[in-house]
Structure 1
């Protein structure tokens, strides 16, 4: 299966074409840049260049995968709009990929007893999800830093259980991991700015379009607030 992956949810802007055959994933064309804004200007050109590098054109694609969050509101909208528009034009299915799931998949293939994906959500929060032996044990949530530290501390004891066999008891992955590391000094830390493109390609090939729609995953309200008055409307004097 030839897939195009689009990731604009976190600290990277990524477009890549991969061939996925069972467990083997081959990168055919890949561009990725650190970016927190400016996705709308760069994404289409990056996708075009990745497809050109891969050869065969856009018609050779079988499926498109796009990260749906949690993450940047603006970045998510850009990636989703581009992926859905391209999918409609090509008549190809588009699948939505959780940023947290993709981060956890980025530290595979051998799952740790506990993996926690953490994204820095600012304002004293992180987005998080917990996996036990490779299986998600809860829905993604927005946690305060205190709540995240308590969750991490509760499972940190597993590191001692696996230390004698050389295993990794607890893995923290994502931009929020350094914020929580003091709660789990034995944990292995992967402070990634975004998911591994290979992990995104695997998830894209494995996801069923019906159960992974390309809809944004928001875990809290946007920081922006609606205007209090319409354009041209007079200000209401304060008492």
Structure 2
């Protein structure tokens, strides 16, 4: 299976094409740059170059895209691009959890906590033990996430931008402060995912920080 993977959820802008066979992914074309904004301007060109290197859009079998949690703006850019391309090519588009991608980036088995800094004293987190998830992705206070990581036992792997926030007090923790999931990890998840149960829909674990305006442009300010 030939898979195009798109990731704009966190601190990377990634477009890569891989051949996946028997769970192994071989890179055919890859563009990935560290960036926290500007994905909209760069993504199409990066995807074009990666796909051209891999032999063209007509040879793509499936598209995988990160669905969050992550940056509200970044997620919208990646999802819109992947869904538009999927419609144009008539190819299935599957959604990939950012936290699942981070966990898969540090290998399978053992105890893993994928943790993203969500600001405001919170993290987005998910926990695994021996490859089995201990529950869904959650928005947690930093202290709660740290307690959950301690419960995983000594030697847990903490991965993501929030790993350093909870590492203190977690015995023997190995910290992997990745800017985003590894493309190889994402493509393996995308190839294994069922399109029927993994739609390309954004995962928001809390409401956006922005608030709607209280008045329309040109309207007078309310008097007290």
Give the deviation of 1:23 after TM superposition.
2.4
Assess if the C-alpha contact under 8 Å between 1:152 and 1:183 holds in 2. no
Give the deviation of 1:62 after TM superposition.
0.1
Please give the alpha-carbon distance, in whole angstroms, between the structure 2 residues aligned to 1:150 and 1:3. 38
- Aligned twin of 1:165: none
Report the secondary structure of 1:183's partner residue: coil
Report the secondary structure of 2:146's partner residue: helix
Assess if the C-alpha contact under 8 Å between 2:95 and 2:198 holds in 1. yes
Give the deviation of 1:183 after TM superposition.
2.2
Unaligned 5+ residue runs, structure 2? none
Q: Does 1:186 align with 2:172?
A: yes
Alignment of 1:46-195 (within 5 A): 46-55=46-55, 57-109=56-108, 111-112=109-110, 114-155=111-152, 158-159=153-154, 169-195=155-181
- Aligned twin of 1:38: 38
Please give the alpha-carbon distance, in whole angstroms, between the structure 2 residues aligned to 1:172 and 1:150. 13
**TM-score of the superposed pair, with normalisation by structure 1:** 0.92
Alignment of 1:213-224 (within 5 A): 213-224=199-210
Give the deviation of 1:32 after TM superposition.
0.5
Report the secondary structure of 1:46's partner residue: helix
Runs of 4+ in 1 over 3 A off after TM superposition: none
Number of equivalent positions: 224
Please give the alpha-carbon distance, in whole angstroms, between the structure 1 residues aligned to 2:151 and 2:2. 41
Assess if the C-alpha contact under 8 Å between 2:150 and 2:171 holds in 1. no
**TM-score of the superposed pair, with normalisation by structure 2:** 0.98
Task: Give the greater-gyration-radius structure (CA).
Answer: 1
Please give the alpha-carbon distance, in whole angstroms, between the structure 2 residues aligned to 1:61 and 1:175. 31
Task: Write the deviation string for residues 88-121 of structure 1: whole angstroms up to 9, x where unpaired.
Answer: 0000000000000011111114x11x21100011
Q: Does 1:7 align with 2:7?
A: yes
Assess if the C-alpha contact under 8 Å between 1:152 and 1:184 holds in 2. yes
Please give the alpha-carbon distance, in whole angstroms, between the structure 1 residues aligned to 2:147 and 2:190. 33
Please give the alpha-carbon distance, in whole angstroms, between the structure 2 residues aligned to 1:59 and 1:27. 17
Report the secondary structure of 1:230's partner residue: coil
Assess if the C-alpha contact under 8 Å between 1:63 and 1:93 holds in 2. yes
Please give the alpha-carbon distance, in whole angstroms, between the structure 2 residues aligned to 1:15 and 1:201. 11
Give the deviation of 1:124 after TM superposition.
1.0
Please give the alpha-carbon distance, in whole angstroms, between the structure 1 residues aligned to 2:120 and 2:33. 25
- Aligned-residue RMSD, C-alpha: 0.9
Give the deviation of 1:123 after TM superposition.
1.2
Please give the alpha-carbon distance, in whole angstroms, between the structure 2 residues aligned to 1:216 and 1:23. 26
